[in-house]
């Protein structure tokens, strides 16, 4: 599995169990490499066609695989469907499969797509080349891929424009997080499972190591961008009441920690 702290949806737990689970995993590993038809899969796995047909129908019904094209049968010249992994299958491969090759292929699929579309995104917005290149390397890393999928699920993988919209949403979130002194605490609430790393502004990283650093880098890019800076200032102004309220609540919680033993004693006295 990608990480022990990742919350995996219920539908994926049965996918790789038992004899059918082993066949599912082997089929998915083949399709993570290249698109194949049902006859090619059966031949590669040395399985009966009927076994493969049943597995393909079940995996397609569960949106683990999908038809990605077609080829022509050699003898009948009829069209035959070519199958590939659907976004749900890629997600399951990364977070639930114990097959290291399948997991690796899933990570590589996402990495290639993320890096390609991040290049498109930075060109669309004319982002700072140096900072964007550093952030792009993290987005294409295993940690970056796992973070993106853990935060946004698998559905955004279905369309290129969905991924571009996720990058845009990340800018808004990075602006929200960058300005406030309690940012590290907010990051922990927004991105559960991450180590408690305090993010500062003193040094600009040459290599991003954590999601917190990635969001800070993205916030810095927005802050220094001539057009995104206007968005930065607008979001900062619009969200000021909310962030001040969060700051007030957090200070109150720090000032008055809950003493369970004392609270229990007071409750018992009142009941006596």
What's the pLDDT tens digit per position in 184-242?
Answer: 544 544 555 544 444 444 455 688 989 888 988 998 998 899 888 888 888 878 888 88
Q: How confident is the model at residue 65 (pLDDT cuts 50, 70, 90)?
A: very high
Choice between 262 and 253, residue whose per-residue pLDDT is larger: 253
How many other CB atoms are there within 10 angstroms of residue 95's CB atom? Answer: 21
Strand (E) positions, 133-241? Answer: none
CB 140 within 8 A of CB 114: yes
The whole-model pTM stands at: 0.78
Q: Are residues 185 and 83 part of one domain?
A: no
| In-domain check, residue 120 | yes
pLDDT at 181: 47
Same domain, 132 and 76: no
Residue 197: its pLDDT value, please? 41
Would you state the pLDDT for residue 179?
66
Q: Per the domain annotation, does 31 fall within a domain?
A: yes
Mean pLDDT, all residues of the chain: 82
257 has a pLDDT exceeding 60 = no
95: pLDDT strictly greater than 60 = yes
CATH number reported for the structural domain that contains residue 72 in this entry: 1.10.10.10
Which has the minimum average pLDDT: 120-129, 246-255, 262-271? 262-271
- Within a domain: 85: yes
Same domain, 84 and 219: no
How do residues 139-183 score in pLDDT, each as one tens digit?
999 999 999 999 999 999 999 999 999 999 999 888 877 766 444
Report the DSSP beta bridge partners of residue 71. 80
Q: Tell me whether residue 263 is in a domain.
A: no
Residue 247 within any structural domain of the chain: yes
Residues 250 and 115 in one domain: yes
Q: Which domain holds residue 56?
A: 10-95
Does the pLDDT value for residue 129 go beyond 80?
yes
CA nearest to 87, candidates 22, 162, 13: 162
Percent of the residues in the chain that have a pLDDT greater than 90, as a whole number: 53
According to the model, what pLDDT value does residue 18 have?
85
119 and 89 share a domain? Answer: no
Query: Can you tell me the mean pLDDT for 255-264?
Result: 54
Query: Between 254 and 214, whose confidence is greater?
Result: 214
Higher pLDDT among residues 222 and 114, named by residue: 114
Same domain, 216 and 162: yes
Specify the number of domains making up the chain: 2
Domain shared by 113 and 84, yes or no: no
What pLDDT shows up at residue 13? 60
Q: Are residues 190 and 119 in the same domain?
A: yes
208 and 173 housed in the same domain: yes
Note whether 132 and 60 are same-domain residues: no
Nearest-angstrom CA–CA distance, 234 and 101? 46
Whether residue 88 contacts residue 62, with contact meaning beta carbons closer than 8 Å, is answered with yes
| Judgement on whether residues 243 and 211 belong to the same structural domain of the protein | yes
Alpha carbons 143 and 123: distance in angstroms, whole number: 24
**Is 3 a domain residue?**
no
pLDDT average, residue stretch 117-137: 95
* 246 shares a domain with 147: yes
**Which of 63, 95, 127 delimits the end of a domain?**
95
């Amino acid at each position: 599995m990608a990480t022990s702290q990742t919350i995996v949806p219920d539908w994926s737990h049965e996918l790789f169990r038992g004899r059918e689970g082993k066949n599912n995993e082997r089929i998915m590993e083949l399709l993570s490499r290249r698109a194949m038809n049902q006859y090619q899969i059966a031949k590669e796995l040395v399985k009966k066609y009927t076994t493969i047909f049943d597995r393909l129908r079940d995996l397609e019904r569960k949106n683990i695989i999908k038809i990605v094209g077609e080829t022509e049968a050699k003898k009948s010249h009829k069209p035959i469907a070519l199958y590939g992994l659907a976004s749900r299958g890629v997600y399951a491969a990364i977070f639930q499969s114990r097959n290291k090759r399948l997991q690796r292929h899933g990570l590589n699929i996402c990495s290639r797509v993320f890096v390609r579309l991040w290049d498109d995104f930075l060109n669309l917005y004319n982002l700072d080349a140096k900072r964007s290149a550093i952030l792009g390397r993290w987005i294409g890393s295993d940690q970056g891929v796992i973070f993106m999928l853990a935060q946004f699920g698998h559905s955004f993988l279905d369309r290129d424009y969905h991924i571009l919209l996720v990058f845009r949403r990340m800018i808004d979130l990075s602006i929200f997080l960058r300005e406030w002194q309690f940012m590290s605490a907010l990051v922990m609430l927004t991105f559960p499972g991450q180590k408690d790393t305090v993010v500062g502004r003193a040094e600009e990283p040459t290599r991003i190591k954590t999601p917190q650093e990635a969001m800070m880098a993205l916030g810095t890019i927005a802050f220094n961008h001539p057009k995104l800076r206007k968005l930065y200032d607008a979001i900062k102004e619009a969200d000021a009441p909310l962030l001040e309220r969060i700051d007030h609540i957090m200070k109150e919680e720090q000032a008055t920690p809950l003493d369970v033993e004392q609270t229990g004693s007071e409750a018992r006295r009142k009941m006596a």
